[in-house]
Amino acid sequence: MTRGRGFTGLVRGGPMTGDGAGGSRVPAMGGDEQDRLSVAGGLAALSLDAMSSVAYGPEAIVIVLAAAGGAALGYTLPVTLVIAGLLAVLTVSYRQVIAAFPQGGGAYGVSKAYLGRRTSLVAGASLIVDYVLNVAVSTAAGVAALTSAFPALHPYTPGLCLAVLGAITAVNLRGIAHSARLLIAPTAVFVLSIAAVIIVGLFRDHPAAVAPAGPQDGTLRTVGAFLLLRAFANGCAALTGVEAIANAVPAFRRPRVGRAQRAEMALGATLGLMLIGVAVLIGRFHIRPVHGVTILSQVTAGSFGHGVGYYVVQFATVLLLALAANTSFGGMPVLARLLARDNNLPHLFALRAERQVHRYGILFLAGTAGLLLAGTAGAMNTLVPLFAIGVFVGFTLSQAGMVRHWWLDRPRGWRPRAALNGLGALLTGIAALVVAATKFAEGGWLIVAALPLIVLLMSRVHRAYGRIGERLELQRTPARPRRRRAVVIVPVEGVDRLTYEALSAAFSLGERVVAVHVAHPDEPGDTMRFVEAWHRWAPDADLVLLNDPHRRLVEPIVDYVSGVGEPHVFVLIPEVEPAHMWQRVLQNQRGAVLAHALRRDTDVVVCRLRFRLRPRHAHDRVEAAPGTVRVPATRARG
């Protein structure tokens, strides 16, 4: 899942400390080496998703096999071994990705570099889907672990899921400082407790405690290849997250590549051992799916009984899963930024400073994950296979990109490496197809439909930006700027200080200034008085008197302005900015209305001059008003 893991962008973009909205999991990334990740720290900080999949991966296998009866459950270990084999291939291939992309790879980066923009969009879409599903799956799995420990809570699963999601969302909206050291403890506790479960379990002949099994599906059906394939496909969800380290190479201490590779290998080994160990125990304890109790919980109970150890494991699982759900909230904004930088998402998402932007991402994530959780009523086993589809699309694309990378560069000994990545691409591609095909009716269609939709949307956005760029003549040197004939139009209502300010500003803007006054034929006296005052003042500007028999607010001016055939037309709208908020009601909002109408109907440059009303003495100190001008600055214009 969280392939766009953040560190790439964070490192490139400078220090992230203080960016609270879930943008960084490891702060002070831009700082010195000491703050960067060691092998153990990196493993802890980056393996959350991978480790947490132990909580739902084996279960996904068992649930498929159990449908074929008790005998089929014997195939749990072989299927797990195949998955572990795939994990080994993936781990070694990602080891190569780390070496090839020391700046941080990830499905999007790799496919953009080697497979073209279109394919990278597929990768981007699959990542978005992954982020959403990671939140949903981790939340559902965490709640399942909780309700296994406290069966009384089981009827409230959907509500609990939404509550956990809400809590994670709230924390992320509020903003939290993430730290790798903070994550080491929960991960270590989880891994150690699972290890203890496995070791203790291996020494037991009988499970210490057995969950009350429901009515067993007695009919033994033949275990076909299709069933095994489905079990394999379902179980592939256990592989999610193995790519996270490859994305975060720059976050490691020097030598980054070496440390990241070691961390990746350690992750693969740990995850593989845990998966196999759990599978062995499933076989040993004859565990079958029981409604309301997770497989991992049954395995734990088998080893530890229902003592303190059991609850420690369950709580460690819940905590780890919550943290794993949280990683999406950190990774999503980073991916959105990368996508936006490549013109595939609105540029808004590329703004780093704006916390609001993270907020949109967080709310999007929470909303879609919430919908999924509500739609499935928090049923973990419905969500997990969906998760696998998107993840494997990403795997396949990054592996295929690596093959192309080897093919183009052809360093010494590239053939075996290309073969390895090719094998990875082939296997993950097959897995993706199998999961999508077997789970199509059970919600897989959602992912199969969502992926192309997101790709379409992003290519639409890209094309729109392309057109905009074309019109803006980006990447080209425009002609030298030159002065053109310009006219500055100033709507005036009276001859006063505001008019003085406006015309002064207008003369600074352009040589030709035209004052426009709307005359109402039913009030000839008003117009005459205005014209007389104008002649007394005698500014060096044309005065246009507009006839308006209907007392319309802005239309006469808009009509006049649109008839002016100059290359540059400025309209300078003088407005009074009251000294106090309440005085706003004394002003009419004509300036705003006029500005809006002008923007809508014409292409002129609209300038709004604000005349700030300060106490009179302050005014006089700033600037002495010319004697001939009356200064009714405080007169309410209406």
Partner 1 sequence: MEEVPAGTAQESAQGARGLRGFLRRLTSSKAELEAEELQKTTGEEGATPIRKCAVRRRACVAGTLRTVTLRPRGGAPALEAELYDGSDAISLVWLGRRRIAGIEPGRLVRAEGLVSVQDGRKVMFNPRYELRGGA
Nearest approach in angstroms of CB 489 to partner 1 is 12
Backbone region of residue 536 per phi and psi (left: phi > 0; alpha: psi in -120 to 50; beta: other values): alpha
Backbone angles phi, psi at 292, to 5 degrees: 90, -5
Nearer to partner 1, 442 or 470 (CB): 470
Residue 49 to residue 64: CA distance in whole angstroms: 23
Label residues 286-311 b or e (16+ Cβ within 10 Å = b): ebbbbebbbbbbbbbbbbbeeeebbe
Interface of this chain with partner 1, residues 471 to 510, rule: CB under 8 A: 505, 509
Q: Which stretch binds partner 1 (CB under 8 A): 257-265, 325-333, 475-483, 602-610?
A: 602-610
Residue 424 to residue 588: CA distance in whole angstroms: 70
Nearest approach in angstroms of CB 162 to partner 1 is 37
Nearer to partner 1, 189 or 546 (CB): 546
Determine if 536 is a binding residue for partner 1 (CB under 8 A).
Answer: no
- Tokens for 626? 């010319």
Nearer to partner 1, 163 or 593 (CB): 593
Nearest approach in angstroms of CB 522 to partner 1 is 8
Contact residues for 383 (Cβ-Cβ < 8 A; gap 6+):
133, 136, 137, 140, 372, 373, 376, 443
First-to-last CA distance in the chain?
61
Residue of 352, 403, 595, 611 that binds partner 1 (CB under 8 A): 595
Nearest approach in angstroms of CB 352 to partner 1 is 22
Determine if 572 is a binding residue for partner 1 (CB under 8 A).
Answer: yes
Nearer to partner 1, 204 or 520 (CB): 520
Nearest approach in angstroms of CB 584 to partner 1 is 18
Nearest approach in angstroms of CB 484 to partner 1 is 15
Nearest approach in angstroms of CB 588 to partner 1 is 19
Nearer to partner 1, 402 or 609 (CB): 609
Determine if 460 is a binding residue for partner 1 (CB under 8 A).
Answer: no
Q: What is the dihedral of CA 181, 187, 190, 195, to 10 degrees?
A: -100
Nearer to partner 1, 440 or 560 (CB): 560
Determine if 461 is a binding residue for partner 1 (CB under 8 A).
Answer: no
Nearer to partner 1, 153 or 605 (CB): 605
Label residues 261-282 b or e (16+ Cβ within 10 Å = b): bbbbbbbbebbbebbbbbbbbb
Residue of 565, 567, 627, 638 that binds partner 1 (CB under 8 A): 565
Contact residues for 253 (Cβ-Cβ < 8 A; gap 6+):
33, 36, 37, 38, 259
Residue of 88, 223, 280, 541 that binds partner 1 (CB under 8 A): 541
Determine if 603 is a binding residue for partner 1 (CB under 8 A).
Answer: yes
Nearer to partner 1, 214 or 549 (CB): 549
Residue of 312, 423, 560, 590 that binds partner 1 (CB under 8 A): 560
- Tokens for 213? 């099994």
Nearer to partner 1, 306 or 535 (CB): 535
Element (H, E) at 322: helix 308-341
Q: Which stretch binds partner 1 (CB under 8 A): 40-48, 49-57, 215-223, 600-608?
A: 600-608
Separation in Å, CA 602 to CA 45, 140, 468, 555, 569: 56, 55, 20, 12, 10
- Tokens for 309? 């150890």
Residue of 542, 551, 621, 636 that binds partner 1 (CB under 8 A): 542
Closest by Cα among 198, 399, 215 to 281: 198
Cis preceding-peptide flag for 255 (omega within 30 of 0)? yes
Nearest approach in angstroms of CB 550 to partner 1 is 8
Residue 228 to residue 61: CA distance in whole angstroms: 9
Nearer to partner 1, 12 or 552 (CB): 552
Nearest approach in angstroms of CB 548 to partner 1 is 8
Residue 213 to residue 197: CA distance in whole angstroms: 21
Site map 395..434 versus partner 1, x via CB under 8 A: ----------------------------------------
Residue of 547, 612, 620, 632 that binds partner 1 (CB under 8 A): 547
Site map 505..534 versus partner 1, x via CB under 8 A: x---x----x----xxxx-x--x---x--x
Contact predicate 102/257, CB 8 Å = yes
Determine if 537 is a binding residue for partner 1 (CB under 8 A).
Answer: no
Relative orientation angle of helices 256-284 and 57-66, to the nearest 10 degrees: 30
Determine if 538 is a binding residue for partner 1 (CB under 8 A).
Answer: yes
Residue 261 to residue 102: CA distance in whole angstroms: 10
Residue of 546, 553, 586, 625 that binds partner 1 (CB under 8 A): 546
Residue 256 to residue 29: CA distance in whole angstroms: 13
Contact predicate 172/17, CB 8 Å = no
Residue 616 to residue 594: CA distance in whole angstroms: 28
Residue of 545, 586, 613, 625 that binds partner 1 (CB under 8 A): 545
Contact residues for 528 (Cβ-Cβ < 8 A; gap 6+):
none
Contacts with partner 1 by CB under 8 A lie at 505, 509, 514, 519-522, 524, 527, 531, 534-535, 538-549, 555, 560, 565, 572, 595-596, 598-601, 603-610
